[in-house]
Amino acid sequence: MTSRPPSQTAQSAARSRAVHWLREEEPKVLNDWVAAKLLDYETPEDLLAAYDAAPSARLPGASNLFAVRNRYAEDEFQKAHADHGCDQYVVIGAGLDSFAYRRADSFPCTIYEIDHPSSQQWKRDRLAHAGIACPANLCYVAVDFEEQEASLVAALEANGFDRTRPVFFAMLGVSQYLTLASLKSLLKAIASASSARCTLVMERVRPIEEGHLEGPEAEMMERLLAATTKMAEPWITFLDEPQTDAVFREAGFDSIHHELPSDSIRRYLQGRKNDQMPKVAALVLASTRGA
């Protein structure tokens, strides 16, 4: 199979996590030593220079956003594992996510990475180049939703997924690229994936009209929207809290919690030298009760 790099935005997310790891004080919010190795830079200095040249770097604490969202998802999965034995972790639109290579042996679980086949091959080539082994409990689920009528659950089941056991989904940096209809369909598939219990952490981009962005951050948001459109990766779906609640309840989720940037700052950044984070997105923690 011919490989192709993951989307530019997926690479940007990994670069931001790498910058957090390279620049921020100890202890790291996210100890992502893998991200830099997945990217095609000669030196750490080259990576940092590329990050500093990007428009998003002008947002105070931009790299914190990407460290925090992954840390939150991983923390909630660990809680689900401890609380009700959840041992299946599914990363939708995995891109250059590195959980499997950093924490696969933290506790017994099976990890599923869902992404485009050629992007997955590129990632596996980069892992091999960096000498990073793929853990035995990781399953690559290659799905090309653009070229085939693919069922999320069917693709997972073909790779050993157990619908009778609890499952945890992470969907970070994905929802804004989907039409609202596609997002609703995907959420319904996720909510019905397990007869036991299903939990999801999803990142949602907040509408500018919500008034949470001020001054330079609002101006930079407009630039980011223009940049993603130019890269042919436009942001098209924005959700406020009431819309999110309605969409998730329609999909079949019973419990919905909104983790706002102010919550994440208190949880992960309070007392740190760099305690800022953009307010452009929020996290949603949702679950079904199961049978």
Q: How far apart are CA 165 and CA 162, in angstroms?
A: 6
* Opening angle at CA 217, ends 211 and 218, nearest 5: 50
The one-letter code for the residue type at 91 is V
State what percent of residues in the chain have pLDDT above 70: 95
Average pLDDT for residues 269-286, to the nearest whole number? 96
Tell which CATH classification among 3.90.180.10, 3.40.50.1010, 3.40.50.150, 3.40.50.2300 matches the domain 8-287.
Answer: 3.40.50.150
Contact between 23 and 57 (Cβ < 8 Å): no
Q: Supply the pLDDT for residue 212.
A: 67
Q: What is the pLDDT of residues 167-207, one digit of tens each?
A: 999 999 999 999 999 999 999 999 999 999 999 999 999 98
Q: Where are the domains of the chain?
A: 8-287
More confident residue, 182 or 107: 182
Q: Supply the pLDDT for residue 145.
A: 62
> Long-range contact list for 230-234, CB < 8 A, 24+ apart?
231/7, 231/8, 231/9, 233/7, 233/8, 233/9, 233/177, 234/177
Q: How far apart are CA 53 and CA 84, in angstroms?
A: 45
Average pLDDT for residues 142-160, to the nearest whole number? 79
Mean pLDDT over each residue of the chain, to the nearest integer: 92
Q: What is the pLDDT of residues 235-258, one digit of tens each?
A: 999 999 999 999 999 999 999 999
Q: Supply the pLDDT for residue 289.
A: 86
Q: Give the 3-state secondary structure of 36-68.
A: HHHCCCCCHHHHHHHHHHCHHHHCCCHHHHHHH
Contact between 281 and 263 (Cβ < 8 Å): no
Contact between 189 and 152 (Cβ < 8 Å): yes
- pTM attached to this predicted model: 0.94
Determine phi and psi for 221, rounding to 5 degrees.
-60, -40
The DSSP bridge pattern shows strands 255-259 and 167-171 to be unpaired
Average pLDDT for residues 9-24, to the nearest whole number? 96
Q: Supply the pLDDT for residue 83.
A: 96
Encoding tokens for residue 188? 């319904």
